[in-house]
Amino acid sequence: MRKKIIAGNWKMHLNKAEAIELVESVLVGSKDLDLDENKIVVFSPSFVYLDTIVSKIASLSNVFVAAQNCSEYEQGAYTGEVAAKMLQNVGVQFVIVGHSERRQYFNETNIVLHQKMKQAFVHKLQPIFCCGEPLEIRENQEHFLFIQQQLENCLFLLSEEELLQTVIAYEPIWAIGTGKTATPEQAQEVHHFIRKCIAENYNATIADQISILYGGSVNAQNAAQLFSQADIDGGLVGGASLKAQDFRTIILSI
């Protein structure tokens, strides 16, 4: 059975007190959130608060912390970078790799993303690998080919064991931070396609075990419909993850 995952990507927002308060407010009465080993919550704060948030959730099961990025290098003279080894050392369990903002603004290529994922595996972190098409590609009906290439040039270079440790997030770029969500049908169509590609490149059993999250303007109103789709196993949530009540509603929608 594949896991249901709700991950909050806080991007470059919040100060330390706000970050702590957000986690506390989301998890207040955490029993009501009905989490178990197959339904988990992930918080992804900025690097500087990782340690603090890891401590905050330390006593809770089924709640984890993700970094938003990691270096493709093991260690060394790379000023400003954060190694996967360091993330593991402070108790982080997941790392987002290949978010469209990193691909776009920091020129992260598939080759670099593949190296980052390799670093993640060496240090026992689970990557949340993001893929998704820009608006022009969607308008030209080329999104399946575009996503297939993102998968083939990066994700499908992984071994079976590595892939099984990976979470995929489909995030159409035109839906990120824009308030324009993909319809549940549009999202399901792509998730189904991604699972089919995994089945073709690995096998159907593996494809069935990989959690594929949807990201792009998920909110408290649209989450339940998106999550009701057969191949949507949760969400990577940006803006709405910064509002405790909305994020709680999203967690409860799955």
- The smaller minimum CB distance to ligand PGA, of residues 131 and 137, is found at 131
182: nearest Cα among 154, 216, 206, 132: 216
133 touches ligand PGA by CB under 6 A: no
Active site residues: 99, 171
238 touches ligand PGA by CB under 6 A: yes
Phi, psi (deg, nearest 5) at residue 165: -90, -5
Alpha helix stretches (DSSP H) within 70-164: 84-89, 100-105, 110-122, 135-139, 143-152, 160-164
For the chain, the residue count is: 254
Structural Rg of the chain based on CA atoms: 17
Piece of the chain touching ligand PGA by CB under 6 A; list 65-73, 135-143, 159-167, 215-223: 215-223
Closest distance of CB 88 from ligand PGA, Å: 23
132 touches ligand PGA by CB under 6 A: no
221 touches ligand PGA by CB under 6 A: no
Where in 9-68 is the site for ligand PGA (CB under 6 A)?
A: 9
5 touches ligand PGA by CB under 6 A: no
250 touches ligand PGA by CB under 6 A: no
In DSSP notation, the chain reads -PPEEEEEE-TT---HHHHHHHHHHHHTTGGGGT-BTTEEEEEE--GGGHHHHHHHHTT-SSEEEEES---SSSSSS-TT---HHHHHHTT--EEEE--HHHHHHS---HHHHHHHHHHHHHTTPEEEEEE---HHHHHTT-HHHHHHHHHHTTGGGS-HHHHHT-EEEE--GGGTTTS-PPPHHHHHHHHHHHHHHHHHHS-HHHHHH--EEEESS--TTTHHHHHTSTT--EEEESGGGGSHHHHHHHHHT-
**Binder of ligand PGA out of 143, 215, 223, 232 (CB under 6 A):** 215
218 touches ligand PGA by CB under 6 A: yes
Q: Which residue minimizes CB distance to ligand PGA?
A: 238
Closest distance of CB 133 from ligand PGA, Å: 14
Piece of the chain touching ligand PGA by CB under 6 A; list 66-74, 134-142, 200-208, 212-220: 212-220
- The smaller minimum CB distance to ligand PGA, of residues 1 and 12, is found at 12
**Binder of ligand PGA out of 194, 236, 250, 251 (CB under 6 A):** 236
Where in 161-180 is the site for ligand PGA (CB under 6 A)?
A: 171, 176-177
222 touches ligand PGA by CB under 6 A: no
**Binder of ligand PGA out of 64, 239, 243, 254 (CB under 6 A):** 239
Q: What is the total count of residues that contact ligand PGA (CB under 6 A)?
A: 13
Site residues (CB under 6 A) for ligand PGA?
Answer: 9, 171, 176-177, 215-218, 236-240
